[in-house]
Structure 1
Amino acid sequence: MNISKDMAKLTYKALDDKKAEDIKVIEIGDISVIADYFIIANGTNSSQVQALVDNVQQELSKHGYEPKRIEGVRSASWVLLDYGDVVVHIFSQEDRLFYDLERIWRDGKLVSKEQLED
């Protein structure tokens, strides 16, 4: 398995374990040099957003993956975890609707949970 797909799978599981809403994995490697995957999810409140961020960091760290950059932790309305090949966006419900990253990256390929397992 390639490293970025492994990170995406671990991230999905970490988000799912903490009941993130509407987890989307978008494969963007063919359309952008930014990353291989964008992962977008949201929490229902700032406490849950923080719990999602913490769980992703803990889970990936256990497997030797550390973020290159983290943005937005103080506000807990849009937190970006940049792992290089995988960029994780964890939003509040309102900010997710406002920024609508899925629309911006609609040329990317949506990847299902099952496809990550392959």
Structure 2
Amino acid sequence: MVVAARALDFRRLAKDAARAAAEKKAIDIVVLDVRKDSDVADYMVIAGAESSPQLRAIFEGVVAHLQDRGIRLLRQDGHANGRWVALDYGGLLVHILLSEARAFYRLEHMWENPHPVAWENGKSHASKRKR
């Protein structure tokens, strides 16, 4: 069963995507409410990967997790073996980037007032890089 886009709770969907990324050990996961700043999406998930194989695993995990809930991927930009892949679910965009690409593009800083969303245990950031 595929769920109609207008009936989706994109906030909940963003949290689900973040948890799916965390299950694949994504780093520095951020969920942002961009409804006031973007005409493209309501929520954005940004997740880091330390290698191309990990990026692919995160990509596959997020897509499978949402697909199991009847949520269809509308568009994909980038390749799961590359440095960055963007997943478009309508009101939700999921960006998975290698650490170097994430540091270069700084997606979290594209908006004046990004609104972090707590997605796990009341935190807006979960998986952190080990120092």
Same fold per superposition (TM over 0.5) = yes
CA RMSD of aligned residues (A): 1.6
In 2: Cα distance, 1:12 partner to 1:74 partner: 17
In 1: Cα distance, 2:27 partner to 2:77 partner: 20
In 2: Cα distance, 1:78 partner to 1:107 partner: 24
Counterpart in the other structure of 2:26: 20
TM-score, structure 1 normalization: 0.90
Paired residue total: 115
In 1: Cα distance, 2:37 partner to 2:17 partner: 21
TM-score, structure 2 normalization: 0.82
Aligned pair 1:72/2:75, yes or no?
Answer: no
Runs of 4+ off more than 3 Å: none
| Alpha-carbon displacement from aligned partner over 1:64-107 (angstroms, at most 9, x marks no partner) | 11111001115520100000110000000100000001111342
Structure number with greater Rg is 2
SS of 1:87's equivalent? strand
Counterpart in the other structure of 2:3: none
- The 3 A distance-change label for structure 1 pair 21 and 115 is closer
Pick aligned residue for 2:115 from 105, 109, 116? 109
CA contact (8 A) 2:37 2:111 kept: no
More helix by share: 1
SS of 1:79's equivalent? strand
- The 3 A distance-change label for structure 1 pair 109 and 77 is same
In 2: Cα distance, 1:54 partner to 1:12 partner: 13
Unpaired stretches in structure 2, ≥5 consecutive residues:
1-7, 125-131
Q: What is the aligned-residue identity percentage?
A: 35
